[in-house]
């Protein structure tokens, strides 16, 4: 455009023609990316033609459309560089993968998101985006070639930059007064929660309630300690206040950088379980008792409040391969089992997998697979959270030339795994992974450092001098997971803790890098190691809560009596007839469709020497799911399950001819109280696989002499979803019409003799 011309001079709102990216070239000429929708191209060409032809006057040709065209000096086809408004030196080289800041026309966000998925790129969750009146800024992880395809497949992108929002600006580029100002501004536009909402209860070092981003969501009465002499506040070097910020808001960076109005649907509670400096540290043998006391305190104050207990404290360097008194205490509290044997409502726990040592010399850093998840994260009933990372854009000048230690979508360098645990005898942990931050490695790959730009931003315990701090590792991941659980509790007030856990795991997906590792695994046993590394993937609120048209979820909460009150053996199975839309599946034919199933329940633990090697000795009962095979009649299906129940053959390899279509298979359900798998195959094959069964397996309840123990009922939650490769296929409408009255459970008694 000509110098001095206004960018909005080339805008024509009626035709949808609007300016996008604008910048100056080296000669200070203004370059503007003009967005012309396909349906307006003819109108745009008419404008240019009328300007050229114009009307003859006594003084010569008078151009029509003069105000629109005159500012334009030249027109050429847009290139990627046209949209790039960042420093030209930051434009990625071909093949280089970075997080791009994609400025999109707000009305076309959903369409662009679908295109991103089809091209194999990855868009950040909606919470990580910035929304403005006409545009939305999406962080997109991909390479230059894919961005170019996005640009010209549909002109919804108006500007490109390198994604630069990170904690660095708020930590290094502004002073403490400005930190307080941005915190105050965010507090003023936040919609704070009332009192009658779910809470994240932090079992940690205490919280400094004076922080402006915490105080409205943390009542003074909800700030307690297991020892009164410890006080309730966090120390200036504490940990709990950082947990609090992430548990409320998630990463603060997009909230502080944007203009969104956070609407909080949950609160905070804090129980100080770690002594401050100057007090004797708690002995290991009291960890379980301290945790039980911590659980009782907020429940005494607010017994009717729904809450998720969040604990990022672990027994350092103590492997969680075997049950301990601490992990068993958490399992007891989750199951709602009291010391007297009475029952109280079950509880949801979210615990950290434990952190890797933060070594500086790279040769001293151990692989996560050599670092076992720490006690008490082996607790069967808890959601154990490991760390992954998407943080790869390094912002600090001091780290120029450095590279991220982990690739985007891989596990975080701060986390641990359970790959060394005994397969078949221990539960798969972690259950999920959340953002835990990344580290930077020197050009010579000798030294590794922490970097604020690859961490998360949270609230600091020193509320006056440093109200914002960087936060990382599995503590950060656990706080975010607890936040997700509390949001789901608020969204679904009638769902049990078992169901919230099921939804979180069901809404988790592996990143493209994790999926590539799975494709290269080559066997189910190799896949199990990946499950012990990545858990079930990364959950999001949208996936956990929403039933989209191509990803329909069915949820069931039920009670089952696993064992007979008198005599021996299993008592009953639950059968569900699945409402598959026959006509649609027949029309889809050989097109692949994915059925995902998640089963969640809480066991009553029985720790002891034998329980370390035999999961049936540790669990009070066990449940499994099974899907009717294509060749089976419903009666044959029931007979097969009855036979397995009596022969205890639930862990034998399946003879199902479709067994290879399961992602993990029956052998993956040998231990633990959470089981999730998915079947992928031709849609038409699913028509005859229309019955699912929830069946009991062994547990110590079954072997007890007392009838009131053996005959107890148990709760479980079952979540199923159906996803079609073709997003245009509507599965929601026909299935919803079939289940308006609910999906019935048929409870069938297991015969008293072996079939």
Residues 6 or more apart whose Cβ sits within 8 Å of residue 453: 166, 167, 168, 391, 393, 394, 395, 396, 399
Q: CA-CA distances (angstroms) from residue 667 to 505, 525, 663, 702, 706? A: 19, 9, 11, 22, 32
Name the token pair of 705. 């002499």
With H, G, I as helix, E, B as strand and everything else as coil, classify residue 693.
strand
Residues 6 or more apart whose Cβ sits within 8 Å of residue 503: 488, 492, 495, 544, 545, 555, 719
User: In this structure, are strands 267-272 and 199-204 parallel, antiparallel, or unpaired?
Assistant: parallel
Q: Per-residue confidence at 338, pLDDT binned at 50, 70, 90?
A: confident
pLDDT tens track for 696-706: 999 999 888 78
With H, G, I as helix, E, B as strand and everything else as coil, classify residue 607.
coil
Find the helix or strand (DSSP H, E) in which 599 lies: strand 592-600
pLDDT tens track for 9-55: 555 555 555 555 554 555 555 555 555 665 655 555 555 565 556 65
CB 482 within 8 A of CB 310: yes
Q: Per-residue confidence at 755, pLDDT binned at 50, 70, 90?
A: very low
Determine the Cα–Cα distance for residues 91 and 77; give it in Å rounded to an integer.
19
- Please compute the mean of the pLDDT values over residues 662-685 and round it to a whole number: 90
- Judge whether residue 558 has pLDDT over 90: yes
Closest C-alpha among 235, 238, 263, 236 to residue 249: 263
- Please compute the mean of the pLDDT values over residues 575-596 and round it to a whole number: 88
CA atoms within 13 A on the CB side of 520: 7
- pLDDT score recorded for residue 649: 42
Q: Per-residue confidence at 308, pLDDT binned at 50, 70, 90?
A: very high
- pLDDT score recorded for residue 736: 66
- pLDDT score recorded for residue 549: 44
Determine the Cα–Cα distance for residues 237 and 495; give it in Å rounded to an integer.
38
Three state DSSP letters for 632-662: CCHHHHHHHHHHHHHHCCCCCCCCCCCHHHE
DSSP 410-441: EEPTT--B-TTSPTTTS----SEEEE---EEE
CB 716 within 8 A of CB 692: no
Phi/psi for 287 (5° steps) reads: -60, -45
- Please compute the mean of the pLDDT values over residues 287-301 and round it to a whole number: 95
Determine the Cα–Cα distance for residues 680 and 686; give it in Å rounded to an integer.
9
- Please compute the mean of the pLDDT values over residues 609-636 and round it to a whole number: 86
Higher pLDDT, 684 or 648: 684
CB 161 within 8 A of CB 247: no
Determine the Cα–Cα distance for residues 671 and 675; give it in Å rounded to an integer.
9
Determine the Cα–Cα distance for residues 580 and 736; give it in Å rounded to an integer.
10
Give the start-end residues of each E strand in 468-591: 468-471, 508-509, 538-539, 551-560, 572-577
- pLDDT score recorded for residue 87: 81
Q: Per-residue confidence at 751, pLDDT binned at 50, 70, 90?
A: low
- Judge whether residue 653 has pLDDT over 50: no
Determine the Cα–Cα distance for residues 351 and 330; give it in Å rounded to an integer.
10
- Judge whether residue 114 has pLDDT over 60: yes
For domain 80-164, give the CATH number: 3.30.70
* Range from 102-106, 538-542, 617-621 carrying the lowest mean pLDDT: 102-106
With H, G, I as helix, E, B as strand and everything else as coil, classify residue 297.
helix
Q: Per-residue confidence at 659, pLDDT binned at 50, 70, 90?
A: confident
Q: CA-CA distances (angstroms) from residue 529 to 400, 615, 651, 661? A: 36, 19, 18, 19
Task: Domain ranges for the chain, please list them.
Answer: 7-69, 80-164, 168-497, 547-749
Three state DSSP letters for 364-390: HCCCHHHCECECCCCCCCCEEEEEEEC
- pLDDT score recorded for residue 281: 86
- Judge whether residue 199 has pLDDT over 80: yes
Number of Cβ atoms within 10 Å of the Cβ of 753: 7
- pLDDT score recorded for residue 111: 85
| Mean residue pLDDT across the chain | 85
Determine the Cα–Cα distance for residues 604 and 562; give it in Å rounded to an integer.
13
CB 716 within 8 A of CB 600: yes
Give the start-end residues of each E strand in 462-577: 468-471, 508-509, 538-539, 551-560, 572-577
Name the token pair of 540. 């999001």
Say which CATH class 168-497 falls into.
Answer: alpha beta
Residues 6 or more apart whose Cβ sits within 8 Å of residue 14: none
Q: Per-residue confidence at 144, pLDDT binned at 50, 70, 90?
A: confident
With H, G, I as helix, E, B as strand and everything else as coil, classify residue 663.
coil
- Judge whether residue 548 has pLDDT over 50: no
- pLDDT score recorded for residue 646: 57
Q: Which of 9-23, 58-72, 512-526 has the highest mean pLDDT?
A: 512-526
Find the helix or strand (DSSP H, E) in which 748 lies: strand 745-749
pTM over 0.85: yes
- Please compute the mean of the pLDDT values over residues 631-654 and round it to a whole number: 69
* Range from 265-279, 339-353, 382-396 carrying the lowest mean pLDDT: 339-353
DSSP 187-255: HHH-B---SSS-EEEEEES---TTSTTTGGGS-GGGEEESSGGG-SSPPTT-SHHHHHHHHHHS-HHHH
Higher pLDDT, 732 or 654: 732
- pLDDT score recorded for residue 1: 43
DSSP 444-481: TS-BEEE-GGGSEEEE-S-TTT-SEEEE-HHHHHHHHH
Q: CA-CA distances (angstroms) from residue 105 to 43, 111, 224, 236? A: 20, 10, 48, 44
- Judge whether residue 574 has pLDDT over 60: yes
- pLDDT score recorded for residue 235: 85
CB 458 within 8 A of CB 468: yes
- pLDDT score recorded for residue 644: 66
Three state DSSP letters for 123-148: ECCHHHCEECCCEEEEEEEECHHHHH
- Please compute the mean of the pLDDT values over residues 113-127 and round it to a whole number: 85
Q: Per-residue confidence at 72, pLDDT binned at 50, 70, 90?
A: low
């Amino acid at each position: 455009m000509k110098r001095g011309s206004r960018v909005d001079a080339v805008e024509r709102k009626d035709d949808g023609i609007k300016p996008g990216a604008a910048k100056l070239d080296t000669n200070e000429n203004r370059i503007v990316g003009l967005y012309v929708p396909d349906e307006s191209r003819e109108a745009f060409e008419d404008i240019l033609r009328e300007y050229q032809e114009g009307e003859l006057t006594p003084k010569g040709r008078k151009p029509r459309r003069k105000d629109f065209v005159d500012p334009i000096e030249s027109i050429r086809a847009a290139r990627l560089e046209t949209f790039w408004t960042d420093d030209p030196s930051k434009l990625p080289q071909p093949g280089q993968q970075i997080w791009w800041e994609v400025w999109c026309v707000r009305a076309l966000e959903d369409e662009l998101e679908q295109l991103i998925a089809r091209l194999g790129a990855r868009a950040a969750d909606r919470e990580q985006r910035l929304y403005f009146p006409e545009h939305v800024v999406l962080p997109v992880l991909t390479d230059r070639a894919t961005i170019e395809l996005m640009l010209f497949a549909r002109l919804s992108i108006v500007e490109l930059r390198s994604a630069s929002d990170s904690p660095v600006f708020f930590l290094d580029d502004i002073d403490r007064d400005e930190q307080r100002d941005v915190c105050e501004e965010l507090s003023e536009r936040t919609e704070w929660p009332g009192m009658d909402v779910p809470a994240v209860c932090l079992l940690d070092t205490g919280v400094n309630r004076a922080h402006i981003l915490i105080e409205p969501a943390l009542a003074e009465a909800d700030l307690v300690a297991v020892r009164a002499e410890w006080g309730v506040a966090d120390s200036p070097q504490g940990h709990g206040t950082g947990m609090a910020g992430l548990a409320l808001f998630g990463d603060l960076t997009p909230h502080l950088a944007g203009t969104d109005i956070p609407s909080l649907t949950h609160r905070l509670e804090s129980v100080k379980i770690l002594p401050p400096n100057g007090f004797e540290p708690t002995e290991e043998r009291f960890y379980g008792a301290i945790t039980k006391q911590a659980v009782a305190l907020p429940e005494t104050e607010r017994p009717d409040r729904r809450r998720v207990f969040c604990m990022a404290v672990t027994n350092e360097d103590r492997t969680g391969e075997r049950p301990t008194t601490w992990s068993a205490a958490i399992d007891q509290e989750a199951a709602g089992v009291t010391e007297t044997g009475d029952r109280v409502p079950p509880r949801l726990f979210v615990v950290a997998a434990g952190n890797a040592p933060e070594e500086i010399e790279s040769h001293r850093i151990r692989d996560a697979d050599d670092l076992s998840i720490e006690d008490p994260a082996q607790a069967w009933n808890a959601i154990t959270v490991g760390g992954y990372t998407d943080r790869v854009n390094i912002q600090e000048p001091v780290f120029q030339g450095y590279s991220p230690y982990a690739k985007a979508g891989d596990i975080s360098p701060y986390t641990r795994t359970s790959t060394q645990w005994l397969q078949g005898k221990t539960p798969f942990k972690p259950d999920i992974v959340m953002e835990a931050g990344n580290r930077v490695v020197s050009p010579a790959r000798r030294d590794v450092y922490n970097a604020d730009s690859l961490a998360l931003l949270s609230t600091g315990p020193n509320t006056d001098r440093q109200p914002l701090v960087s936060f990382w590792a599995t503590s950060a991941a656990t706080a975010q997971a607890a936040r997700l659980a509390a949001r789901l509790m608020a969204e679904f007030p009638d769902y049990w803790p078992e169901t919230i856990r099921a939804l979180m795991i069901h809404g988790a997906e592996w990143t493209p890098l994790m999926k590539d590792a799975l494709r290269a695994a080559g066997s189910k046993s190799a896949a199990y190691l990946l499950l012990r590394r990545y858990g079930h993937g990364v959950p999001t609120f949208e996936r956990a809560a929403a039933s989209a048209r191509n990803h329909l979820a069915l949820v069931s909460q039920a009670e089952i009596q696993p064992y007979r009150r008198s005599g021996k053996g299993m008592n009953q199975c639950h059968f569900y007839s699945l409402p598959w839309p026959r006509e649609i599946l027949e029309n889809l034919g050989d097109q692949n469709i994915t059925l995902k199933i998640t089963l969640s329940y809480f066991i009553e633990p029985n720790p002891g020497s034998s329980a370390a090697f035999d999961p049936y000795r540790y669990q009070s009962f066990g449940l499994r799911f099974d899907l009717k095979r294509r060749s089976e009649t419903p009666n044959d299906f029931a007979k097969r399950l009855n036979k397995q129940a009596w022969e205890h053959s639930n862990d034998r390899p399946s003879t199902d001819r479709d067994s290879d279509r399961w992602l993990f298979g029956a052998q993956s359900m040998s231990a633990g109280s959470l089981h999730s798998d998915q079947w992928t195959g031709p849609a038409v094959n699913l028509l005859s696989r229309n019955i699912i069964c929830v069946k009991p397996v062994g547990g110590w309840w079954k072997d007890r002499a007392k009838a009131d123990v053996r005959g107890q009922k148990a709760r479980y939650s079952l979540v199923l979803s159906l996803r079609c490769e073709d997003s245009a296929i509507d599965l929601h409408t026909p299935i919803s019409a079939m289940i308006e009255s609910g999906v019935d459970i048929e409870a069938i008694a297991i015969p008293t003799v072996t079939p």
